[in-house]
Amino acid sequence: MKLTLKIWRQADPQAKGETVTYPVNDISPDMSFLEMMDVLNEELVNKGEEPVAFDHDCREGICGMCSMYINGEAHGPDRGITTCQLHMRKFKDGDTIYIEPWRAKAFPVIKDLVVDRNSFDRIMEAGGFVSVNTSGNTQDANAIPIPKEDADEAFDAATCIGCGACVASCKNSSAMLFVSAKVSQLALLPQGKVEAKRRVLNMVEQMDKEGFGNCTNTGACEVECPKGISLSNIARMNREYLSASLTAKD
């Protein structure tokens, strides 16, 4: 296939940035999107130009590193996958493809398609954990049976890969889907319930501090989320938050 790529290039966080056009040829439909980017980059290096910087690592949809906004959609046109799992067979010969970084105030661009998502880490540091030491003196793993349904639901929420597509897809740049996934996972398990109130208050406070927007229930996040994290997590978090704020002592 022959394609025309229109890619966001930005030398550093301060630079203005612009869209640059690159033609690519000989793209096989079996290539992944990132392998297509490899082909472009190899060509650029051979021409003595700087390759396009983008984040990626596992290339199998689990590390959450890859993050391209392709033709106006986070992770591109396919559903339930990350950029690295997108394959060129989803495109046609002659297509023009627009590639941009995630856009959000809380995700500043570092270079080209690479953004800084450490705001997510800071939200986690504010409360995304169970306060238990790793001493090995915990009780037996089977001491507290957990209904399979709860365990499965917690698991589903826990599969969030922290990619940020939800934020990039949201017109308000809200991080509610990401935060609510963690809050839900821990709120559903007996181990996490103990400090559930503190957790939700602290995580939401940090989320606001980072400059993420509000949730207006548009649901774009759920559509673009590669892991199918459900909006019901946001509803659960809202309930948790409300009840925690009502009973908060400090």
Nearer to ligand SF4, 27 or 168 (CB): 168
Residue 42 partner contact from ligand SF4, ligand FES, other proteins, none using kind-dependent CB cut-offs of 5 to 8 Å: other proteins
Site for ligand FES in 41-80 (CB under 6 A): 56-59, 61-66
Q: Which residue has tokens 């996490």? A: 192
Residues that bind ligand SF4 (CB under 6 A): 160-166, 177-178, 181, 225-227, 229
Q: Taking CA 78 as the corner, what is the angle to CA 74 and CA 82, rounded to the nearest 5 degrees?
A: 55
Q: Cα–Cα distance between 122 and 162 in angstroms, integer?
A: 12
Binding of ligand FES at residue 82 (CB under 6 A)? yes
Nearest alpha-carbon partner for 212 in 177, 160, 162: 177
Beta strand pairing status for 96-100 and 3-9?
parallel
Instruction: Give CA–CA dist 203/192, Å, rounded.
Output: 14
Q: Which of residues 97-156 bind ligand FES (CB under 6 A)?
A: none
Q: How far is the CB of 67 from ligand FES (least distance, A)?
A: 8
82 versus 184: smaller Cβ distance to ligand FES: 82
DSSP β-bridge partners for residue 5: 22, 97
User: What's the min distance (Å) between Cβ of 84 and ligand FES?
Assistant: 3
What are the beta bridge partners of residue 32?
87
Q: Which is nearer to ligand FES, 44 or 62 (CB)?
A: 62
Applying CB under 6 A, the residues found at the interface with ligand FES are 56-59, 61-66, 82-84
